[in-house]
Amino acid sequence: MKIYINGEIKIFENKLTALSLIKLLGYEGKKIALEINQAIIPRSSYENKIIVEGDSVEIINAVGGG
């Protein structure tokens, strides 16, 4: 399955949920915003949101500062 993550093509063998993708990419437990096909996905929906071939995923890290 080919998807776009932050503008780069990535290939995965199996179907993914948003949660499994976050875990695979090492973002679990981090403060991020997840957008799939220009729609913000609430954290409560990560486990049920299925990512399909051709989806465009944006992951934005929250950065603190002042």
Tell me, what CATH number does 23's domain have? 3.10.20.30
Query: Is there a domain that residue 39 lies in?
Result: no
Confidence of residue 62 (pLDDT cuts 50, 70, 90): confident
Structural domain harbouring 7: 2-33+44-61
Query: Is there a domain that residue 26 lies in?
Result: yes
- Single pTM value for the model: 0.88
pLDDT on residue 66? 62
**Chain centroid to CA 2:** 13
For residue 56, how many C-alpha atoms fall within 13 Å in the half-sphere facing its CB?
4
The token pair at 25 is 């990419």
Query: Is there a domain that residue 50 lies in?
Result: yes
Answer whether 45's CB lies under 8 Å from 19's CB.
no
Distance, in Å, from the CA atom of 54 to the CA atom of 31, rounded to the nearest integer, reads 25
Query: Is there a domain that residue 38 lies in?
Result: no
pLDDT digits (tens, 9 = 90+) for 29-49: 999 999 999 999 999 999 999
Number of domains making up the chain: 1
The token pair at 12 is 């995965």
User: Tell me, what amino acid is at 9?
Assistant: I
